[in-house]
Every structure is written in C-alpha cells, then in structure tokens.
Amino acid sequence: MPARKALFFPVVNLVNVNTNTQTAEALRAEIASCFDGVTTLSVEVDGTPIEGLQRHPDRFRVRSVAFDVTLPAKNLFEVFAVVLPSGIYSPAVSDGFYIMLKPLDVGDHLLRIHGESPCGSPFDVTYRLTAAPSNLDSAETKEEAKEESHARDSTD
C-alpha cells in the first residue's frame, strides 16, 4: 500500500437490504441492536491500541443514509447462507463502527482488528501491511532536491 495514505475500514458492520417491502427505518431497526449492544471493539497498529474505541464507541459509529445496491448473481450474502438473486435492492442501510487511521510511515506494519456484537461471530483479523513510497513521494523528493540545488546555486 502507498505510504502517506489514510486507511478507512470497519471494525464491525452490517448491511441490511430490502427484500420485501421494508422501509429504511425498519431495516435500521433490525440491525441496530447488533451495535447498540456491542461488547468489544479494538484496533491495534504495531501493538499500539487506538485510544477511546472501547470507552467511547459512539464516536466511531456510522449509520448510513438509505441507498440502492446492485447485487450480482454470486454475492456477499452467500457467505451468510442468504440467497439473494441478482438485481437492484432498495432501500439498503448500513450500521457499524469504523476507523480512519492516519497515514502509516514507510515500512512494515501489523494491523489487528477485533470486534464482538450480539449478532454473530466475533470478528478478529490481522493484516500485515507494507507501506511503500509512492511515485508521488519520489516526485516530491526530486522536487525538493531540485529546490535545494537551486538554493545552493543562488548562494554561491
């Protein structure tokens, strides 16, 4: 992944789609209890926990506006043993806890995400990330070197 890019990801989240005649409000109510009663939220970067996530979870909670979703024949819901044929589903809503991490320094990093809610299995995943300089970084470095060179030339 490029260094100097912020990371945005869910700790735990759900999407609920209308499969009958449900309203956005009804869909939200169906999944709200999963997050109103969240029991554990944690994110660690290189062994350092994100402060406040467990103590103040509402600061990290995001409830979407209603939206439409187009599903292909084989879709994510199959993972949960839910068969939804391809098509456009409306409305759909999402609820959950999300993190925006500041950009990581160049190098290797360990990102651990853990979440538990009353609605399902605990979520526990570890990512090994390598933040690499991007072309933008090298272009900026070249520009800085050029500016330093010009500054030296003008003082000589």
Q: Is the pLDDT of residue 28 over 90?
A: yes
Residue 39 above 70 pLDDT? yes
| pLDDT of res. 127 | 97
User: Is 80 exceeded by the pLDDT of residue 138?
Assistant: no
For the ranges 4-13, 41-50, 113-122, 125-134, the lowest mean pLDDT is seen at 113-122
Strands (E), 18-80: 40-45, 48-49, 61-63, 67-71
**Inter-CA distances, 155 with 16, 38, 146, 150, Å:** 65, 62, 14, 9
The answer as to whether 14 is a domain residue is: yes
Write down the pLDDT at residue 31: 93
At residue 135 the predicted structure's pLDDT band, cuts being 50, 70 and 90, is: confident
Say if 1 falls within a structural domain. no
Residue 94 is predicted with a pLDDT of: 96
Whether residue 52 is predicted with pLDDT greater than 80 in this model: the reply is yes
User: Whole domain around residue 114: which residue ranges?
Assistant: 7-155
The count of domains in the chain is 1
Average pLDDT of the residues in 84-99 = 96
**137 falls within a domain:** yes
Residue 127 lies in a domain: yes
In a domain, 40, yes or no: yes
When pLDDT is averaged across residues 53-62 and rounded to a whole number, the result is: 92
Residue 2 lies in a domain: no
Tokens of residue 40, six digits: 């554990």
